[in-house]
A = this chain, B = another copy of it.
């Protein structure tokens, strides 16, 4: 196993750091970074050696990455060990991550908000102001996720073209304001 170049190290370390900021375990994020820049699938031992973490740690981290849906197990000819590769396409990768975060965090949030609002309605007067604020939050999450559902379905080229339109969007849609 070839050691990482300076550049590769810098990237892997920073990606790991970013992970922690967004609630992802550092090692998990580092492994993902490593697989992302690797031109070939890697086996668990190589990963452990490269990042100098325990084999067992790599095993659980890979499980998590697979649960996120951005890393998959593959086999390479003439090697019975499991190998792993990251999703290759950046846009698709973020789509998968966002879908997963929506499922894990936003959807339960919507459920809780709806429950709370129903509960608060019964008890009017007591919780009138709370109810109003929760409705505002719910409205926000519903609008943003509804919109996300729309754009996530766009194929990448359409999505990037759309994003790069810039000012034209506003004009085309008559959203001057």
Contact = CB atoms under 8 A, between A and B. Distances in A.
Interface string A68-89: 0000000000000000000000
Number of copies: 2
Contacts of A108: 14
Q: How large is the interface on A (under 10, 10 to 19, 20 to 34, 35 or more residues)?
A: 35 or more
A163 B140 contact: no
A133 B36 contact: yes
Interface of A: 5-8, 10-11, 14, 18, 20-23, 36-37, 39, 90-91, 94, 104-105, 108-109, 112-113, 115-116, 119-120, 123, 126-127, 129-131, 133-134, 136-137, 139-140, 143-144, 146-147, 150, 154-155, 157-158, 160-167, 169-170, 172-173, 175-177
A112 B158 contact: no
A14 to B, nearest CB: 5
A123 B7 contact: yes
B115 A10 contact: yes
A112 B14 contact: yes
A62 B129 CA distance: 23
